[in-house]
Structure 1
């Protein structure tokens, strides 16, 4: 059977799963794995799902249950990105190709449909928080995707509105995200204490999760911990370094708070689950987000959340978090300490967060996506 031959009502779904192998996979890497696994568990009759990546020696991170492969293209990741950027490079097989990031093929086969996920509008709304080349590359790929794809998938209505405001004209489907399965299981007090000991964390700490780069607002969070009651708060930060030279340890030292800032780096999900479960508050100080997975994942475990008023965070939290203005260190510090000092407030936020998080699931995402694939397969652009 070739890629275009299908049973009645079926077809072949090809997922571009390259982001699972990226040097800095971040939230889009988690999205790639979680979406792939959910799709692979809910395949409609007559369909097959397979992954494709650039050439890597080790592709273990891109092996997803229920998804065949991945098939490795005979191109280095940078070469593949440059070719697709220039409108060249390989076409992919399949009835529907879903590029899970803007890294998407520049050409399609006859009667083939393309779906592209655009995770945020940061290249347009906050280009200064990316490298100049990164912002330009993403704008180019998003705009090409808008012309070529049958549909763009975005995680929030906030992203859809931003794209429309900068002139992106395409079918845009708002399909949210979910909480990682690996972070949802029961965590024993013994495991929480083991992680505290392993990472030398105190009995009480607040947590921030995200790639260490400018748009995450971690500089504002450090400033928030230098004054008032927040000057006694301990912060644990989980995430790998991104661009921009965000050396959190050095930044903390310059502010005189190095003894209270615990930089854990990128850690496995099993460890993250225990570190998250042991936190008193989860802080999301981002300048901009497309969705905000750490916010939802904290809420799903009942951890009170303090977050900025970035539109996507407001949308996802749905009033279940404590909100502060973007960039306002004093307000951020006050909000953190108010939750730490008020058990009733913490309990209300915890319960509201659990209820809110229950409205999101990767299975629901997969169902929406399968409906979309079957629709565009019937009449590809």
Structure 2
């Protein structure tokens, strides 16, 4: 039986982030929809604890005999350490060299931020990601990107022989399942949620534009609401409390929840008055899709990927402009009729993005390139 191997190393990263959610959700959906004659396995580098990389319905994870650093170094140098399987999916640019005869490789490139906005990443991160993306574009059978905007950036900054396929993300089942009123109340009390609030979801790092959002919330014409921020700390030492003090955001208006479970996120999303997506750069913008799916209005920056995902269902504002962001948030509250139309449009649009659809598209690619490799 042919085997699909998915590299699940991102699930073991200190901050899995959006690419970690992508890896788990996509792999779960692919395992559930595998063709009858295929098996699916997860593979990682060597770690003391592999349990975070366990995915229901997926064999493994199997650990390669190298640390993440060692594995990365070998693949950077073109050493052909194949992770096993007949076809491999790399959910991030950490990927093996070009496959040999009879095998195939598909790599997901989530964004071209290392090329377009290098100032929002570490120097080391920029250097590694630029090289890894170029290698993948030149060695893989196909590159999967989440939006047309990323496809355009890939053709501009890292063109290669690989076929490029646009496959969007989906919304986790845990966020779509109905939440009982008693659970809504209990979770809200447990997390200390205000009765109404502006919500931001994402890793706390420079690219996410949370500094601009805090400045926006301190504007005199901004909504007089608390700001709730959900997400783990990333790089860059973004101190949200210090930013609130600097911009004069009144004490008590900032609530930083950090990393929370999907069950808690389902409650936090549903209770939000509006979701703010102030990013400076994105490849997709999963929180925008998740908010639209549960009927929460969205205000996002004019980053091309966010505009593409929202499809006109959100309020778009200039990136990096705190006053424009404050005005956009204010407009959501001041024009309930327009907001209701956008919410309905957002719900409808979100239904087109599912992990099941993404999995089906990925299986189509993998079986196609595996068949091509088998007859060479």
Moved more, 353-362 or 109-118: 109-118
Moved more, 191-200 or 240-249: 191-200
Deviation at 1:108, TM superposition (A): 3.1
Q: 1:155 aligns with which of 141, 146, 155?
A: 146
* Aligned equivalent of 2:299: 306
Give the whole-Å Cα distance in 1 for the aligned partners of 2:76 and 2:23: 21
Give the whole-Å Cα distance in 2 for the aligned partners of 1:338 and 1:153: 36
Q: Secondary structure at the match of 1:379?
A: helix
1:319-377 deviation line (CA, Å, top 9, x unaligned):
11111111111111011122123332332222111001001100011111111001101
1:177-235 deviation line (CA, Å, top 9, x unaligned):
10011111112333233233223222110100000111111111011011123162211
Give the whole-Å Cα distance in 2 for the aligned partners of 1:246 and 1:18: 26
* Aligned equivalent of 1:29: 20
Q: 1:273 aligns with which of 251, 255, 266?
A: 266
Deviation at 1:63, TM superposition (A): 1.2
Q: Secondary structure at the match of 1:123?
A: helix
Give the whole-Å Cα distance in 2 for the aligned partners of 1:280 and 1:372: 40
Whether the aligned pair in 1 keeps the contact of 2:99 and 2:140 (CA below 8 Å) is no
Give the whole-Å Cα distance in 1 for the aligned partners of 2:227 and 2:253: 6
Whether the aligned pair in 2 keeps the contact of 1:221 and 1:285 (CA below 8 Å) is yes
Deviation at 1:87, TM superposition (A): 2.2
Number of aligned residues = 372
Q: 2:57 aligns with which of 43, 54, 66?
A: 66
Whether the aligned pair in 1 keeps the contact of 2:64 and 2:83 (CA below 8 Å) is no
Q: 1:357 aligns with which of 347, 350, 372?
A: 350
Deviation at 1:89, TM superposition (A): 6.4
- Correspondence 1:183 to 2:159: no
1:30-57 deviation line (CA, Å, top 9, x unaligned):
0000000000000112111111011122
Give the whole-Å Cα distance in 1 for the aligned partners of 2:36 and 2:195: 51
* Aligned equivalent of 1:3: none
* Aligned equivalent of 2:212: 220
Q: Secondary structure at the match of 1:229?
A: coil
- Correspondence 1:144 to 2:103: no
Give the whole-Å Cα distance in 1 for the aligned partners of 2:76 and 2:174: 34
Whether the aligned pair in 2 keeps the contact of 1:85 and 1:137 (CA below 8 Å) is no
* Aligned equivalent of 1:52: 43
1:127-142 mapped onto 2 (5 Å cutoff): 127-142=118-133
Q: 1:232 aligns with which of 224, 239, 243?
A: 224
1:109-129 deviation line (CA, Å, top 9, x unaligned):
432111000000101111111
Whether the aligned pair in 2 keeps the contact of 1:154 and 1:172 (CA below 8 Å) is yes
Q: Secondary structure at the match of 1:263?
A: strand
Q: Which runs of 5+ in 2 are unaligned?
A: none
Deviation at 1:294, TM superposition (A): 0.4
Q: Secondary structure at the match of 1:172?
A: strand
State TM-score, norm by structure 1. Answer: 0.94
Whether the aligned pair in 2 keeps the contact of 1:91 and 1:109 (CA below 8 Å) is no
Whether the aligned pair in 2 keeps the contact of 1:96 and 1:113 (CA below 8 Å) is yes
1:1-381 mapped onto 2 (5 Å cutoff): 6=1, 11-88=2-79, 90-106=81-97, 108-169=99-160, 170-230=162-222, 232-257=224-249, 258-380=251-373
Give the whole-Å Cα distance in 2 for the aligned partners of 1:81 and 1:253: 41
Deviation at 1:73, TM superposition (A): 1.4
Give the whole-Å Cα distance in 2 for the aligned partners of 1:167 and 1:143: 5
Give the whole-Å Cα distance in 2 for the aligned partners of 1:72 and 1:89: 16
Q: Which runs of 5+ in 1 are unaligned?
A: 1-5
Decide whether aligned partners of structure 1 residues 231 and 340 sit closer, same or farther in structure 2, where only a CA change above 3 A counts.
closer
State TM-score, norm by structure 2. Answer: 0.96
Whether the aligned pair in 2 keeps the contact of 1:92 and 1:108 (CA below 8 Å) is no
